[in-house]
Structure 1
């Protein structure tokens, strides 16, 4: 234990890259490499993906990493368990249940008193009428009323106490739910470590990289500018929520828009052949087991009996040692020397499991296999027959076939008594022939990085063969499921997930300073950095719809990275204005951010319609529309105002529209905006305190026999 403790390296979380869902964590550990080269690096979370562990040397001379794997350890915490919140929630639950019971008892008392009422005696047929004792009725009513008053007063007190306890319980439960998952939730602390094997000796610094689920982020911004300035400060912030099982304290945080779970393997290109279609054979990872595999552990078996897997001691049944697990061993007289292969099991009642390099058993085989215990290798398996006795020469021992494997922790049952007359029963039916061809391994058996070589203490069917590792933390899947619950958190206002706003590109944003993000599953804001942007304040109005001028902020992205969609807090002259939604802005793009109505600019619009006829015989109706717009500024500086109007669009070739104004037609992709057909724009530079007028109009010429839909006389 002292040597194992000396070879432990403590690690510290250094950096985290948060993706659209999930994160990649990097830990640093430093120490002196022991002569054996095996070091246990502690501090890893339980929710990590074991297949994602990577290790590399950052600072060392002549030392390299040979192997890195994940191991799980468990130890009791003792009496000092950090579960104060859990105990508080349990205490409040008990108090809440007691308060609810007191209120229920009070309601029962109230119902009992309320049911009190006078009951007249049963009147017989010949009895005269009796006078009603009014005083007794009034006394009873007064008693019931007084009693109910006291009971209801007490009920109100109990309900108030119950409401307070329930409120305290909800607060404590919310604190427990929001508490960090970095602390152990039970009296047994489970630690995940990385066992790293080095080649070389000396001081070294190793970096561990692994992926964890349960981390999400959404972008947010804070825009600060001065009135009249052409530049501003756009601060990129990130709302991060993580429940990975470890607190991120003082780490470098980077944000990426990529999908961490996206497959990155190359596609397999299949050849195209002309002719009849033939199914292409699926490549298999199965290989024939090497020759001489049974002799691999002869030296280990020759050292003596294998250690029992359970605490149950072996028993002696009829001269045969029966150990825990259902294995039988033949005794050796003390006078004889221990033969080679002593301790080799004579009978394995359970069939050999399937794995990498293990051929499947013949289906329908219902009898165990009996092996030879001579000095040589295992003999060919011979079907055992129940009720038979061992024969001389040690070739087969059918009497041991009745031994069933014992349950874990229990001794094997004794063999059934042999019959008086050893007679062979009827021959069993021939077992079905095994399927032709090599066995088809499953997907878990083809995951070579997760396969583990069975050691000498494994069962005979697993010794020296590769099998999927099932010794990892069984609660890891539950921890990962709880961690992935942060993906369903409600988003902040105007927030958009990175994969939805990033589109077809992926970017990474590195925070300038270290930050802290606890593992509590709630949103935490982290400042990433400042982004230089170009700004100009413009005013926009559509007087035909609403005679109000709105202030807008044209934001230009002058960086080589895209700005993701998200909420932006706009501050002008140190005054908070509003929180708006910023769309995705590509490098070099421009977008508008609305700031609300501008009280410093007034707009007025008047229209005039004159209808007349023209042509040789007055066959054309002329509708002359005139528009007059006035703008009055009360701002302290100059302003640029855009006035939007709309001209009708003709769908009939007999209708002609002639414009008489100095407005312009906006392009379809002006600053990423899309305008309706017939939109016209006046762009006016309005000085401080000035007033300007805009005049325009258009004529609609239609045949006299036709009319506009909705009437000719309209504005």
Structure 2
């Protein structure tokens, strides 16, 4: 088996979760292509069912196939702690005792030297003091100081040697601490198969798996030029992952889709003309045996085989004195009964149709019946000597009674008589489930296990644990606890809220999109959001100034941008710049590929707008008088910028459903256009050169019976 070290090359982050792809290159060893390769160092939190492997050939060639993928646990068993060297302990202990003894003797010698003090000679009290010998006393003091200095130096030297020996002795006698357990990982074993014409100088193995702990949210940077004619849209991805591994120098892709979702495919029922035909049986699948418990019938019985001693044949006397059991005759003619054949016959009888009758009686019960069916001919051909030793055959026994279906009265025609007869259609073959097709994870339960005789499905983790117990029976690791902790830590990223003003992506009108990063990234697995650049696109922009003078005279800047045909924009915050100057932060809406969207850029104080109104009320007619309300609106805009502006002025016109009230436009300069999305709202579009002013005017009248009055007053414009 060839062990390989893989590296993360690409990551695709979905709405919740990610797919990690690892790659490793290897060449053919001198001894030939191995049958298996092993990739270790995989995180414990990966989804076992999502493992996929693929082979590619960067330098050309083919002929190597990956046929199987098995999951294992990767753990480096620690080396045993070395035992202390007992041969070096005893000399050190003897040296320690010797140094302690010398140090104690030296301390006693120093104490005696310190007691060497000169004393004055004694003299009677009534006499003068005796003469004091100075030179001997001085010599004694000098000798004492010399002995003390030499003794103290020797004591320091002995103390250092004793400390060194004691430390070394403690190192040898103190048991070494056990090394920390090696981290536990997952590993995969890939089985390879080589074709006869295989030729591949370099093989690249791609391994992909799913991880649950990853999320992302989009944000944008929109940079305009000074003329607002071009815009550069940069998309960033705020990523958060806690997959248990760091992503270093990887290709990044993000998607608005779920990492896994169930989608029903449409099935179009075919329309056939003519007589209905039976559905053809699906090839490649056969139903399971009808009764798998019969496989263990012999195991449950487990008869005790007793060997009967053979008696010598008696050639004298009456040849019929000792009758031979009938079973011996049948055994000789038919052979000994095979227990496996009996089990097969029982299984066939359980699955047979009701019209088929199988006799499962013991050979003793069916002996004469079988003899009557033609076995007497074989007995008649036996040797005469052997026949004289046999007992005469007993009287013929009755045949087995017929089943009720066989004894039913016959009716005319081809079907049995009886009004309740209905043709029984054979049951359809069972459809295999996805679990039954996971051949690598199926195993046959033993005879003493529950569900014996049936294929049992176990998860890849259960298979790993079984292999782990066989490989490391004395391991101190609690594998289940470590895996559960890894799974718990991997979902921490899903519990982190999105950054302020950010939202997690969703599908756009039922469609999901994939975005590929332009550069490789590094991302730690710390369950924190990190911003990474994703892609940049150039967009065409059109700047428009908008004002609704009936509501406010402030002029708002609004830019209209056209998205790229291959770029869908999910909603997210956008920072707007004009050149290198920050302008505003706003929210970008969902935009389909090739769609247009608008962004508000705030109020422009360089454009002034004034709105003036006029009102005149008159009554006409004598018998049926009519009230006419004339409204006049004038909007004047002044451009104080150094460039021409395109100003859109929106005004409303009263709407009525009453037939007796009429609204008429008397004059409108310049002409305006209705806004289809807003009933009753019209707009003027004025192009105002730099430093100039333009005016738009409107006059309309409302005619209604004099007995009526508008709610809120007849004057509509203020």
TM-score by length of 1: 0.58
Name the residue aligned to 2:679.
Answer: 677
Q: Is the 8 A contact 1:71 1:195 kept in 2?
A: yes
Structure 1 position 714, deviation (Å): 3.6
Q: 1:564 aligns with which of 563, 570, 573?
A: 570
- The residue that corresponds to 1:240 in the other structure is 239
Are residues 1:23 and 2:18 paired? Answer: yes
| Residues 1:518 and 2:524 aligned together | yes
In the other structure, the counterpart of 1:552 is: 558
Alignment of 1:221-240 (within 5 A): 221-240=220-239
1:196 to 190, 197, 212: 190
User: Residue by residue, what CA displacement relative to the aligned partner does 1:324-364 show, whole Å, maximum 9, x if unpaired?
Assistant: xxxxxxxxxxxxxxxxxxxxxxxxxxxxxxxxx984799xx
Q: Is 1:637 matched with 2:667?
A: no
For residue 699 of structure 1, what is the aligned residue in structure 2? Answer: 701
> 2:44 aligned with 1:13, yes or no?
no
Give the Cα separation in 2 of the matches to 1:272 and 1:706. Answer: 69
- Please identify which structure carries the higher helix content: 2
Task: Summarize the alignment of residues 135-146 of structure 1 with structure 2, pairs less than 5 Å apart.
Answer: none
The structural deviation recorded for 1:441 is 12
Given that 1:450 and 1:468 are in contact with CA atoms closer than 8 Å, whether structure 2 keeps it comes out as no
Q: Secondary structure at the match of 1:72?
A: strand
Q: Tell me the TM-score normalized by structure 2.
A: 0.58
Report the equivalent of 1:288: 288
Match of 1:37 in 2: 35
Query: In structure 2, how many angstroms separate the alpha carbons of the residues matched to 1:458 and 1:188?
Result: 37
SS, match of residue 506 in structure 2: helix
1:94-142 deviation per Cα after TM superposition (whole angstroms, max 9, x unaligned) = xxxxxxxxxxxxxxxxxxxxxxxxxxxxxxxxxxxxxxxxxxxxxxxxx
- The alignment status of 1:713 with 2:685, answered yes or no, reads no
Would the aligned equivalents of 1:532 and 1:559 in 2 still touch at CA under 8 Å? no
Q: Which residue of 2 aligns with 1:371?
A: 302
Contact 2:40–2:74, Cα closer than 8 Å, also in 1: no
Counterpart of 1:596 in structure 2 is: 602
Would you say 1:664 and 2:646 are equivalent positions? Answer: no
- Separation (CA, whole Å) in 1 of partners of 2:245 and 2:64: 30
Q: Is the 8 A contact 1:286 1:441 kept in 2?
A: no
Alignment of 1:571-610 (within 5 A): 571-610=577-616
CA distance in 2, matches of 1:552, 1:570: 12
CA distance in structure 1 between the aligned counterparts of 2:591 and 2:500, rounded to whole angstroms: 19
Structure 1's unaligned 5+ residue stretches are: 80-185, 274-279, 290-356, 382-436, 669-673
Instruction: Give the Cα–Cα distance (whole angstroms) in 1 for the partners of residues 433 and 490 of structure 2.
Output: 25
CA shift, 1:505, in A, is 2.0
- 1:38 to 1:708, Cα distance in 2 relative to 1, 3 A: same
Structure 1 residue 70 corresponds to structure 2 residue 71: yes
1:543 pairs, out of 539, 544, 549, with 549
Q: 1:707 to 1:45 in 2, by over 3 A?
A: same
Partner SS state of residue 493, structure 2: helix
Contact 2:550 2:651 in 1 (8 A): yes
In structure 2, list runs of 5 or more residues that go unmatched: 81-179, 273-278, 308-337, 344-426, 466-479
Please give the secondary structure, in 1, of the residue aligned with 2:6. Answer: strand
> Any conservation in 2 of the 1:635–1:689 contact (CA below 8 Å)?
yes
**Whole-Å separation in 1 of the counterparts to 2:435 and 2:428:** 14
Work out whether residues 21 and 209 of structure 2, in 8 Å CA contact, stay in contact via their aligned partners in 1. yes
Q: How far apart are 1:616 and its partner, in Å?
A: 5.4
Query: What is the deviation of 1:698?
Result: 1.7
Q: Find out whether 1:498 has 2:505 as its counterpart.
A: yes
After superposition, give the CA deviation of every residue in 1:403-432 in whole Å (9 maximum; x if it has no partner). Answer: xxxxxxxxxxxxxxxxxxxxxxxxxxxxxx
Contact 2:41 2:74 in 1 (8 A): no
Return the alpha-carbon distance in structure 2 between the equivalents of residues 597 and 517 of structure 1.
Answer: 40
Corresponding position of 1:452: 442
**Any residues of structure 2 matched to 1:306-317 within 5 Å, and which?**
none
SS at match of 1:51: helix
How large is the RMSD of aligned CA atoms in angstroms?
Answer: 4.1
Three-state SS of the structure 2 residue aligned to 1:471 is helix
CA distance in structure 2 between the partners assigned to 1:591 and 1:253 by the alignment? 27
- Partner SS, residue 486 of structure 1: helix
- What are the superposed Cα offsets for residues 250-276 of structure 1, whole Å, 9 maximum, x if unpaired? 111112222322224645678999xxx
Distance of 1:29 and 1:42 partners within structure 2:
12
Deviation at 1:679, TM superposition (A): 0.6
1:319 paired residue number = none
- Once the 2 structures are TM-superposed, how far is the Cα of residue 456 of structure 1 from its aligned partner? 9.1
Relative to 1, partners in 2 of residues 1:593 and 1:214: Cα closer, same or farther, differing over 3 Å?
Answer: same
User: 2:213 maps to which residue?
Assistant: 214
Q: Report if the CA contact (8 A) 2:293-2:452 is conserved.
A: no
Q: Which residue of 2 aligns with 1:46?
A: 44
Pick the aligned partner of 1:621 from 613, 621, 627: 627
2:463 maps to which of 457, 471, 476: 471
What is the CA distance between 1:583 and its match in structure 2?
1.0
Contact 1:372 1:378 in 2 (8 A): no
Range that drifts further, 197-206 or 653-662: 197-206
Closer, same or farther: CA 695–73 of 1 in aligned 2, 3 Å: same
Indicate how the Cα distance of structure 1 residues 189 and 645 shifts in structure 2: closer, same or farther if over 3 A, else same. Answer: same
Contact 2:649-2:685 within 8 A present in 1 as well: yes
Q: Larger Cα Rg: Structure 1 or Structure 2?
A: 2
How far apart are the structure 2 equivalents of 1:529 and 1:535? 19
Determine whether 1:489 maps to 2:496: yes
Do 2:634 and 2:696's aligned partners in 1 also have CA atoms closer than 8 Å?
Answer: yes
